[in-house]
Every structure is written in C-alpha cells, then in structure tokens.
Amino acid sequence: MSAPTTNESGTLRAGVIGLGWAGQQHMDAYAQLDGVELVALAGLEPDKLALLGDQYGVPPERRFGDWSELVAADCVDVVSVATPNNLHAPVTVAALDAGLHVLSEKPMADTGAAAQTMVDAARRNSQVLDITFNHRRRGDVQALKQVVASGVLGDIYYAKAGWLRKEGIPGLGSWFTQQSASGGGPLMDIGVHMLDMALFLLGEPDVTSATASTYAEFGPRGQGASAYGPWAKTDGATPDFDVEDLATAFLRLGGGGTLLLESSWAQWIPYDQCYVTLYGTEGGASIEWGGFPATYRKLGIWTQKDGVPAELTPYVPEDGQHLQAVTDFVSAVRAGANVEHDGSEALARARVVDACYASAAQRQEISLGS
C-alpha cells in the first residue's frame, strides 16, 4: 500500500467533493481532527464554493468547480465524496485509481453493479474505501451492539427496522426525487441507514432473499415535502418525481432469521418514527426515536434473571455521527487497513437494495444467491 501522507509533517491532506449538507459534515469533521488538514474543495455552486472555502481556509487555487480537477491536482491524500448518488461510483473509482483513499457518503452507489466497481477499484489499488453510515455510530446503537455481542439476547431470529417520516421528501423536484440521479427514493435514502443498522447489530448475516413492494402516493401529487432548510420543496407546480415514497421489504437471512424493513418520506402519521427491534431466544431489545412535540429516544432491553423479568439499562456513550465516521476512516488510512476497508460490507447493502427494487418491480421474491 502506498504511504498515506505526502508531506514532511505527516499531516493527511483532505479534500471534499460536494458542497451540500453531507459534504459540510465531512468538512467540519476534517477540520476538527489532529494531523489532518482540509486543503481542497470541489463543487458546482461558485458562491457556496467561495463561502465554504473562506470558512475552512482552503486556498482559492484549490477550490475546484469540477471534481475531476481536484482528483487530478495531486494535492490531497484522502477525499470524501458527497455528491448525488449516481456520481458516487465514477468519482470514487477515479479517485482510487489516482491513488487516493476515499470516504463516500451513503448509499454506496445507485446500483449494486456500480458499487462493485468501487470495491474492485479499492482492491486493485490497495486503497481504503469506506462508506459513511453515520447512524451506526449513535450511542444507543453502540450500546445495543455490546449487549447483543454479550449473548444476553440469545439467538436473534427476527428483527424489524424502519424510518417513517410524516413530511420529509427531500426537495420535490431535486435530484433526490429523480431516479436517474438518486437510484431510488426513501429505501435508497434513509431505508439503507436502517438496513445497515439492523445488519450491524445482527452480526452481518447474509441476506438470502427479498420480497418487497414500493409505492408513490404523495410525491407525484406534490405532497409530503420537507419543510426543513436544504431539503425544502423546490419551486415548480409539477414536481419531477419518479421514485417511490414508501418501500417495505421482508428479508430472509442466513441461518433462518428474518428482517422486516420499511422506509417512507411521507405518511399520514402524527410524527416521524424510527425504530429497530430485535427478538431473541433469551431477550428482546428496541431502539426508538422520533418526535412530537419533543424529540424522544428510547433504548429498551428485556430479559430475565433467575426466572424473574428484568429490564437492563446499559451505559450509552455519546453519539459519534459524521465525526466518528471520518475519524474511523482516517484511522483506517493511517493503519494501512485497506484489506479490511474495501467497501465490501456496504456492497452487500447495495445488493440488498437492488433485490428489493427488483422484487417490487417483478412482484416476486428475489434470491440474492450464495
């Protein structure tokens, strides 16, 4: 593997491609880390590029309007990719082939085939490739992961996970709601977070088949738009919307377990609801969050001790979020852990999402093979 630094101080030089909310989370994380310097940005919006460049002290000559210029400039060692989904694969592959380590936003890519090209590029170049699943860095998820690993719940045979929004279509008419740019709707956007969280907690079982359905009942009518800042509805009476706004899937797991997954951008519900629930032979557990009128978060673990019902209260660390994802990525780069961090785990999620969309389109169960 090539050396991860190219300057005498040993400082990692970082770049970020994509100037939206996600890209800004990466910028902020790099700016907080010791031994890392944010030295380059790339994005299509000149005003935002100038503003963020000034904010993070990026020299004008390293503010690029075209991502390919940043990749070719030989000015960074690591790069974050926070572009629309359809660009994750081409940008990542080009960066890996240029000798850079890459942290890409989720979802890994708009298709499983595109995600495979990213893994192939990481392997042939012996570079680190990570995908930013920031929600698995939540404190309650990390705490529950330890509980599962301890064996307290026994064998987990059934799980449910979902993220349902009341009104949360991210920009009606934006790239999020266009199949050609996003690859899909809430399953691709927020459902993949819950899929990642569930499989992470379950110990990475293989998904052997998927049976799924998708619906588009709000977006095509111009309803269900997010009211929040960067994701608020775009202008125009007729939204450009050709993805689903709800997806539900029944996933069979290796070893006989099952996972029920659902995600939606808009529903007639009182408030946003997120959850992951685990059913084990010796105990059960659930994480829930959402909110109205006040945000709530709950972690519950139920079992028995000497025949007496017991509810456990584990220590819950602070949330890691994007900062922890970027920290883990930088640590993998410094450790030369390219074999362990080649994107394979995220590729498995991309294959599951592919199977769900295929099942919905064909109205039948789809096998993911061995």
Q: Looking at the domain assignment, is residue 1 inside a domain?
A: no
At 51, list the tokens.
């503003």
- Confidence (pLDDT) at 7: 47
At 272, list the tokens.
């946003």
Do 146 and 243 lie in one domain? The reply is yes
- With contact defined as beta carbons under 8 Å apart, do 25 and 47 qualify? no
Q: Looking at the domain assignment, is residue 129 inside a domain?
A: yes
Do 32 and 65 lie in one domain? The reply is yes
Q: Give, as one character, the DSSP assignment of residue 188.
A: I
Do 330 and 306 lie in one domain? The reply is no
Share of the chain above pLDDT 70, in %: 94
Average predicted confidence (pLDDT) for the chain: 94
- Confidence (pLDDT) at 36: 98
Do 61 and 169 lie in one domain? The reply is no
179, burial (CB in 10 Å: exposed 0-12, middle 13-18, buried 19+): middle
Which of 41, 51, 36, 44 shows the shortest CA–CA distance to 15?
41
- Confidence (pLDDT) at 4: 43
pLDDT tens, position by position, 10-52: 899 999 999 999 999 999 999 999 999 999 999 999 999 999 9
Do 49 and 147 lie in one domain? The reply is no
pLDDT tens, position by position, 51-60: 999 999 999 9
Enclosing domain of residue 266: 139-318
- Confidence (pLDDT) at 6: 43
Do 26 and 172 lie in one domain? The reply is no
Which of 157, 181, 177, 199 shows the shortest CA–CA distance to 244?
177
Q: Looking at the domain assignment, is residue 239 inside a domain?
A: yes
Share of the chain above pLDDT 90, in %: 89
pLDDT tens, position by position, 328-358: 999 999 999 999 999 999 999 999 999 999 9
Which of 200, 165, 172 shows the shortest CA–CA distance to 186?
165
pLDDT interval class at 240 (50, 70, 90): confident
CATH number at residue 129: 3.40.50.720
pLDDT interval class at 171 (50, 70, 90): confident
pLDDT interval class at 232 (50, 70, 90): low
Do 95 and 157 lie in one domain? The reply is no
pLDDT at 103 over 70: yes
CATH number at residue 257: 3.30.360.10
Q: Looking at the domain assignment, is residue 301 inside a domain?
A: yes
Compute the C-alpha angle 333/49/329, nearest 5°.
15
pLDDT at 231 over 80: no
pLDDT tens, position by position, 69-99: 999 999 999 999 999 999 999 999 999 999 9
Handedness of CA 76, 82, 84, 86 (dihedral sign): positive
pTM value is: 0.94
- Confidence (pLDDT) at 369: 76
- Cross-strand partners of 41: 16, 63
- Confidence (pLDDT) at 334: 97
pLDDT interval class at 237 (50, 70, 90): very low
3-state secondary structure 48-107: HHHHHHHHHCCCHHHEECCHHHHHHCCCCCEEEECCCHHHHHHHHHHHHHCCCEEEEECC
- Confidence (pLDDT) at 234: 56
pLDDT tens, position by position, 179-221: 999 999 999 999 999 999 999 999 999 999 999 999 999 999 9
Do 180 and 282 lie in one domain? The reply is yes
229's CB contacts (< 8 A; 6+ apart) are: none
Number of domains making up the chain = 2
Q: Looking at the domain assignment, is residue 243 inside a domain?
A: yes
pLDDT interval class at 2 (50, 70, 90): very low
